[in-house]
Amino acid sequence: MEKERHYSGIKRRLMFLIVLISLAPLALIAIVNGYQFKHAYESKVLEHLEQVVKKHKQNIDTFLNENLADLRVIANTYPYEQFKDEAFLSELLRNLQAEHGGMVVDMGLVDDQGVQAAYSGPFKLGKAVYADATWFKEAMGSQNYISDVFMGLRGLPHFIVATKISADGREWLLRCTIDFMGFNRLVENIRIGETGLAFIINRQGAFQTKPGIQLDAHVESLRDLVWGKHAAAPELTHSHMNNWLGPQYKDFATAMPVRAIVADDPQKPGATSIYVMTQLKQGQWALIYRQDTHDAFSAWYKTRNVAVIIFLFGSLSIFFMAFLVSAKTVKRLEMADREKEMMNEKVIEAGKLASLGELAAGIAHEINNPVAIMVEESGWIGDLLEEDEFGDTENVAEISRSVAQIKTQGDRCKEITHKLLSFARRTDPRQQEVNMNELIGEVVDLSSQRAKYANVKVHQVLDDNLNLIQASPSELQQVLLNLINNAIDAIDHKQGGEVTISTENGEGVVNIHVADTGQGIPDAVLKRVFDPFFTTKPVGKGTGLGLSICYGIIEKMGGKISVNSSVGVGATFHISLPASQGEKNGGNAEPVS
């Protein structure tokens, strides 16, 4: 549990770190670049809109000025009496209409009393009296005049362009009427995106063109923006003006440049609109372009949405990768730790085994002396019993038997200590001529007790004419002991089984086979049996070193060791060692048992 918490802690920290390190730069770049791009893009869009509006302002101003200029030229060119002639007036009107695309509706000459002296146009205005009309009063006050839009006598929206003529001590007004619908089209030409539209208002906040959407509620604020605050105009609240994109509107009102602002949309709560405005007609009118912010910056919003989607997907894959990588890393770590732990255990185990060997050797040496004395003492008793004084009684015979038994058991002790010593003796790497058959006999003797307890029969099928080999006997003994012990271990002790050790001459080699009828080795294990520290035995039972040491020894001798096995049938280890050049083994091999 403790360990699991430890590893899941590492996993969490690792994952957090990976996510942080991967996402932080991405997020930073996204935010900083996004912010910069947004500002750059917005100012580009607004600049563009300003340019468009400026161009239209120039167009409209030019149109109005041209009309006025034409009228002035006409008034200055001809004597005013001629304007009383309606046929001449019609001729002039046709010329103006040809020049201005039919936007000039009619022409008329009005005297200083407001009475129309002559008229040419589609309406029957004849001797209309304009004495009380606002435009007439205002026009009489200046040399040139352009009126606001009004309905007038004809009942249709229009505005008037007029110029004053002074002749014979009287003043006349030569005027023409501009068709509102035609003029409207001039302004409506500014259409950008889905919601972009333009309109003109005058200083009183009256629309001079049709705005196309309902903007009455907003017009007061706009008027204030263009001309500054009126006493009559309602206070411009802060919420209406949430974002200035230019200098204070005070400057704007006087300097009359083109200015763009972003303001709250009165119709859609939460939404904003862009207003680009400029003054026309010497500051009497204002051309205002309006577009929904969302529409104007649609490309930015699209880009932003794509970026957000990419960022989200990126983040998702980073999370996923972080999870995978940290899980995998921690798994590896866990495995490495476990392997290290096992290795430590095995090293300790190997150390224990080594010291056990030394201990065994020490004990064997120490026991030799007392055993030697015991054997000699029993021999001494035997010697004494041969004296005549003991005669041939039953007891003497029994003592003789007992003494013989002591000698036999002493010899057994000797044999045991000899075996122990040959086992515990560290590898003596000196090579000498070895008769493999004899060595096998010794090793089989050494493990015979073990085989007996494990209910295993050990057979030797030995080639009597086996070649000698050049090797270190103690090392070879170690290899054989290992293989035989493994073979015994592989056999189920309840069922019992057989281990067969066979030898034969090969081409320039001596082959040794150790076969068992045990459980066999699965394929997955088979590949790793010679790996150091690989063991299938429970922890503490095997060091996993045996076969790897065997492998090392055999390789060092220039031989080969291999294994084949099928599960349930058993396993066979094959060793082949180079035969020495010496003469053949003289047929003193162990008989087949």
Partner 1 sequence: MNENRPEKSPLQVLLVDDEQGYLHVLEKRMERRGIKVTTAATGTDAVGILRGTDFDAAVVDLKMEDMDGIEVLNIFKKMVPEMPVIILTGHGSEKAARQGMAQGAFDYLTKPCDLEDLLEKIFQACQSQGKDCAQRAVSAPGKDES
Interface residues toward partner 1, by CB under 8 A: 361, 364-365, 368-369, 371-373, 375-377, 379-380, 383, 386-388, 410, 414, 417-418, 421-422, 424-425, 428
Q: Of 130 and 423, which has the nearer Cβ to partner 1?
A: 423
Q: Of 361 and 480, which has the nearer Cβ to partner 1?
A: 361
Q: Of 81 and 428, which has the nearer Cβ to partner 1?
A: 428
Q: How many CB atoms lie within 10 A of CB 521?
A: 21
Tokens coding 55 = 């161009």
Distance CA 277, CA 263 (A): 13
In angstroms, how far is the first alpha carbon of the chain from the final one?
56
Q: Of 392 and 583, which has the nearer Cβ to partner 1?
A: 392
DSSP-derived 3-state class of residue 159: strand
Tokens 């003469």 — which residue? 583
As measured in angstroms, the least distance from the Cβ of 437 to partner 1 is: 21
* Phi-psi group of 435: left, alpha or beta (phi > 0 → left; psi -120 to 50 → alpha; rest → beta): beta
Cβ proximity of 180 and 158 under 8 Å: yes
Q: Of 371 and 446, which has the nearer Cβ to partner 1?
A: 371
DSSP-derived 3-state class of residue 115: strand
As measured in angstroms, the least distance from the Cβ of 380 to partner 1 is: 5
Cβ proximity of 207 and 200 under 8 Å: yes
Q: Of 364 and 479, which has the nearer Cβ to partner 1?
A: 364
Phi/psi at 288 (5° precision): -120, 130
As measured in angstroms, the least distance from the Cβ of 555 to partner 1 is: 26
As measured in angstroms, the least distance from the Cβ of 434 to partner 1 is: 15
Quick one: which of 490, 457, 452 has its CA closest to 568?
Answer: 490
As measured in angstroms, the least distance from the Cβ of 400 to partner 1 is: 15
Tokens coding 581 = 């050049």
DSSP-derived 3-state class of residue 446: helix
Evaluate the CA torsion angle 107, 108, 109, 113 in order and state its sign.
Answer: negative
Tokens coding 388 = 């005549």
As measured in angstroms, the least distance from the Cβ of 441 to partner 1 is: 18
Q: Of 116 and 417, which has the nearer Cβ to partner 1?
A: 417
Tokens coding 463 = 């080639």
As measured in angstroms, the least distance from the Cβ of 379 to partner 1 is: 6
Tokens coding 433 = 């001529």
Q: Of 377 and 433, which has the nearer Cβ to partner 1?
A: 377
Distance CA 549, CA 485 (A): 14
> Could you tell me which residues are beta bridge partners of residue 516?
499
Q: Of 386 and 583, which has the nearer Cβ to partner 1?
A: 386
Element (H, E) at 566: strand 560-566
Q: Of 140 and 421, which has the nearer Cβ to partner 1?
A: 421
Quick one: which of 519, 515, 542, 520 has its CA closest to 531?
Answer: 542
Evaluate the CA torsion angle 466, 471, 473, 476 in order and state its sign.
Answer: negative
Phi/psi at 60 (5° precision): -70, -45
> Residues near 231 by Cβ (< 8 Å), separated by ≥ 6?
none
As measured in angstroms, the least distance from the Cβ of 408 to partner 1 is: 12
As measured in angstroms, the least distance from the Cβ of 391 to partner 1 is: 14
Distance CA 400, CA 392 (A): 11
Q: Of 53 and 443, which has the nearer Cβ to partner 1?
A: 443
User: Could you give the strand order of the β-sheet that contains 197-202, starting from the edge strand earlier in sequence?
Assistant: 197-202, 285-292, 272-280, 259-264, 243-244
Q: Of 184 and 422, which has the nearer Cβ to partner 1?
A: 422
Annotate 401-442 with three-state secondary structure: HHHHHHHHHHHHHHHHHHHHHHHHCCCCCCCEEECHHHHHHH
Q: What separation in angstroms does the CA of 215 have from each of 198, 273, 352, 514?
A: 12, 12, 97, 104
DSSP-derived 3-state class of residue 275: strand
As measured in angstroms, the least distance from the Cβ of 388 to partner 1 is: 8
Q: Of 91 and 376, which has the nearer Cβ to partner 1?
A: 376
